[in-house]
Structure 1
Amino acid sequence: MRASRLVSILLLLQTRGRMTASELADELEVSVRTVYRDMDALHAAGVPLYGDAGHRGGYQLLEGYRTRLTGLSSEEAGALFLSGIPGPAAELGLGSVLAAAQLRVRAALPPALREQAGRIQARFHLDAPGWYAEADPVPFLSAVADAVWNGRVLQLRYRRWQEPTDVERRLEPYGLVLKAGRWYVVAAPGPRVYRVDQILELGVQEEEFTVPEDFDLLGYWQGYQAEFHAWLHSADAVVRVSPDGAARLTGAAARSLDASGEVQPDGWTRAVLPIESLDHTCREFLALGAEIEVIEPAALRERMAETARAIAALNAG
C-alpha cells in the first residue's frame, strides 16, 4: 500500500509540479504527517526532490527528473489502455494524440506490464453508443472542445424541443460529457446542458472566460441526471403485468416492479410503476400488448383503450 502511495506522490509531482504537504494529503486521503514520512522515504531512496517552507512553499521534483512507470500494478496498467475509448477520442480530434500517448506509456512500462496491457487491448473493446440508434452527426464537436479547452466564448444558434425551437445563445462552455453515444456541453449562464448535435451554427469568439474554481463537472452532471430522472418520472401508474410482460420490463419500470410488485393468485403481478407523459407511457405499455393492464390513472387507462380500438379498426377485415 505504501509503495503504491509513493509512486502516486511521484506522479502527482511530475504532472502538477509543486504541491504542499496539505495538498498531497488531501489528494491521497492520508494525514500530513504520513506525507512527511513518505517524503523522508523518497529522499532516502535517492529521489531528487526538495521542499520550500512558507506560504508559497511545497515539494517539487528536480527539473528534468522523470520516473518510469514501474510502480503500476498489472490491473492499473491494463486500465490505462482500457480507458482510452478510440471512437470518442477521434470525434474530438484526438485519435492520433491518444495513440501516441498510449505508445509512450507502453514504452515506459516494464516488459511484464507491457505484455499485460497488450492483452487487455486485444481482448476488450469499449463501444459507448447504443444498438438501435445511428450516431448523430456532430460537425461542431471539435470546435466546441477547443473552446472548452481554451476558455473561449461561443455564439451559436441552437435547436431545442420547445417553441421557439431555434434560438440564439451566448455560452461559456465549462465541459463536455459523452452519455450513451451522445455529446453534451455544460455551459454558463446557469450552467445548463446543451446537446452538441443540436447546434445549427457556431462562432468561436475571441472573448475569454474563466471556469469558476468551485465548479465540478462530474458533480454537476450527477446532480443534473438526478434532477432529470426526478422530472421524467413525475407520476405513477398502478398496473397488473403477466409473467411474460414482467420479464420484458426494463430500467426504472423493472426496478419498481421488483420493489412494489405483489404476485396475485392468477400469476399476474400488481405493481406501481413510474411514468412520464401519457403519450410516452401509452406507447411503452402498448409494446407489451395484452400482457399489461392499467388500473390507474384513469386517463392512461382510457388512452390505452382508445389506441387499442384505433389499431383494431385500422386492421379489421
Structure 2
Amino acid sequence: MRADRLVSLVLLLRRRGRLSATELARELEVSTRTVLRDIEALSAAGVPVYAERGRLGGFALLPGFQTELTGLNHDEALALLVAGSRRGAQAFGLGSALASAMLKVVDALPESHRDVAAGATQRLLIDPETDLLSRRLVPDEVPDTIVAEVRRAVFAGHKLRIHYAAAGQEPRWRTVDPIGLVTVRDQGYLLATRSGSDRTYRLSRVLAAEELAELAERPDRVDLDRAWQERSTRFRTGGDQVTVVVLLHPARREELVGTALALLAEEAEADGRLRLQVAFQDARHAEWALWQLAAHAEALDPPWLRAALHARAAALVARYEPSS
C-alpha cells in the first residue's frame, strides 16, 4: 500500500505542481507526518522532489521529471469498473483506490488531452453530497477493513464469517457463502446464501468480517441483477407489509411513490386528487410516510392508520395551543 501511495504522491505533484504537506495529507488521506516520511523515501530513491520554504511554500518536482508510473493495481482497476458511480466505489471500500487510479489515467494522457480533461472536470459535478433543498445525502459508513475482507471473500469464492447486527436483534456471528455485492442509493449489500437459503446483509450492519479458507458453495456464474430483483420482490411481498389507500395531491405523487415499497393501483378523482393504493414495509413506515405529506395526503384505509395520524395531529395542536 505504501508503494501505491508513493506513486500517487508523485502523480499529484506532477499534475498540480507545488503542494503543501497538509494538502498532500488531505489528498492521500494520511497524516502530515506520513507525508514527510514519504517525501524522504522518494528523495532517497532518486526522485527529484524538493521543498520550498515560506508561507506559500510546499513540495514540488524538478521541471521536466518523467517516469513510468501509470500501471494500475488490482483495486485501482476494480475501482475504475465501478466508477460509473463515485458513491458506488465508496460503498465497496474503493474510494481511495479510485482516486489513485484516476491520477494514473490522467497522467497517461498526452499533454494536450490532459489539459482538456482537467478543464472539463471543472465543468462536471457528479453525485454531490446535498440536493437542491440542501438536504445532506449521507451514505452508509462502513470501515474499509471490513469491506475489503468481504470483497476478498466474494472474489476468491471463499466462505465468509461475519459478526452481523440485524435490525432489532443482538449481533451474532454467522458463516455465509458470498454471492456478490450490490450498492443501492448509497447503501451497500452482500448477497449470500446460508445453509442453502438466500440471505441479504446490509454492509453497514456488519461489525466484523473474516474470510475463511474453505471454498464457498455457490454457482460459478451469477446474474446479480436478476438475483437482486428476485430478492427485492420477496422483500416487498413478505414480512409485516401493510397496504394503504390514500388520496393525494398530484404534486406529491413522486415523493410518496419513491418512499413506498410498491405502487399497487392508481386512479384520478373528480377533484383532481389521486387515489393510490401503496404498500409499505410495516405500520411504522406507513405512518411516517403519510405524516411527511401533511395536508396534501389523506389516508382512507386502514382505519388504524387514520387514528394514528389523528392522534399525532391532535398532540401537535395541543402543544401549540395559544395560552389563555
Query: Aligning the two structures, in what range does the TM-score lie when normalised by the shorter sequence?
Result: 0.5 to 0.7
Q: 1:199 aligns with which of 190, 202, 206?
A: 206
Please report the TM-score for the alignment, with normalisation by the length of structure 1: 0.58
Q: Aligned to 1:260, what secondary structure does the other structure show?
A: strand
Q: Contact 1:82/1:121 (CA < 8 Å) preserved in 2? A: no
Percent identity over the alignment? 28
Partner of 1:144: 150
Partner of 2:283: 278
Aligned-pair RMSD on alpha carbons? 3.9
Task: Kindly provide the amino acid, as one letter, of the partner of residue 284 in structure 2.
Answer: D
Q: 1:216 aligns with which of 208, 212, 223?
A: 223
Q: Contact 1:157/1:166 (CA < 8 Å) preserved in 2? A: yes
Q: Contact 1:151/1:173 (CA < 8 Å) preserved in 2? A: yes
Q: 2:161 aligns with which of 131, 150, 155?
A: 155
Aligned length: 235
Q: Contact 1:275/1:281 (CA < 8 Å) preserved in 2? A: yes
Taking structure 1 as reference, are residues 260 and 96 closer, same or farther at Cα in structure 2, changes over 3 Å only? closer
What is the alpha-carbon distance in structure 1 between the residues aligned to residue 252 and residue 94 of structure 2? 45
What is the alpha-carbon distance in structure 2 between the residues aligned to residue 212 and residue 254 of structure 1? 30
Return the offset for 1:169.
0.3
Partner of 1:264: 270
Instruction: Write out per-residue CA displacement over residues 292-317 of structure 1, whole angstroms, 9 at most, x where no aligned residue.
Output: 22222212122222222222223333
Taking structure 1 as reference, are residues 261 and 87 closer, same or farther at Cα in structure 2, changes over 3 Å only? closer
Query: What are the residue-to-residue correspondences of 1:161-172 with 2, within 5 Å?
Result: 161-163=167-169, 165-172=170-177
Taking structure 1 as reference, are residues 157 and 150 closer, same or farther at Cα in structure 2, changes over 3 Å only? same
Q: Contact 1:239/1:271 (CA < 8 Å) preserved in 2? A: yes
Q: Contact 2:261/2:281 (CA < 8 Å) preserved in 1? A: no
Query: What are the residue-to-residue correspondences of 1:4-23 with 2, within 5 Å?
Result: none
Q: Which moved more, 1:107-116 or 1:290-299?
A: 107-116
Query: What are the residue-to-residue correspondences of 1:20-169 with 2, within 5 Å?
Result: 83-89=83-89, 92=92, 94=94, 98=98, 123-127=123-127, 132-139=136-143, 140-163=146-169, 165-169=170-174
Return the offset for 1:103.
7.1
Q: Structure 1 residue 229 and structure 2 residue 236: aligned? A: yes
Q: Structure 1 residue 174 and structure 2 residue 169: aligned? A: no
Q: Which moved more, 1:216-225 or 1:87-96?
A: 87-96
Taking structure 1 as reference, are residues 311 and 204 closer, same or farther at Cα in structure 2, changes over 3 Å only? same
The runs of 5 or more residues in structure 1 that have no matched partner are 1-79
Q: Contact 2:257/2:263 (CA < 8 Å) preserved in 1? A: no
Return the offset for 1:90.
5.6
Q: 1:184 aligns with which of 177, 184, 189?
A: 189
Q: Aligned to 1:211, what secondary structure does the other structure show?
A: coil
Q: Structure 1 residue 314 and structure 2 residue 322: aligned? A: no
Taking structure 1 as reference, are residues 152 and 238 closer, same or farther at Cα in structure 2, changes over 3 Å only? closer
Q: Aligned to 2:139, what secondary structure does the other structure show?
A: coil
Instruction: Write out per-residue CA displacement over residues 97-135 of structure 1, whole angstroms, 9 at most, x where no aligned residue.
Output: 546766777799999999997787554444287854433
Q: Aligned to 1:301, what secondary structure does the other structure show?
A: helix
Taking structure 1 as reference, are residues 141 and 247 closer, same or farther at Cα in structure 2, changes over 3 Å only? closer
Taking structure 1 as reference, are residues 254 and 180 closer, same or farther at Cα in structure 2, changes over 3 Å only? closer
Q: Contact 1:253/1:273 (CA < 8 Å) preserved in 2? A: yes
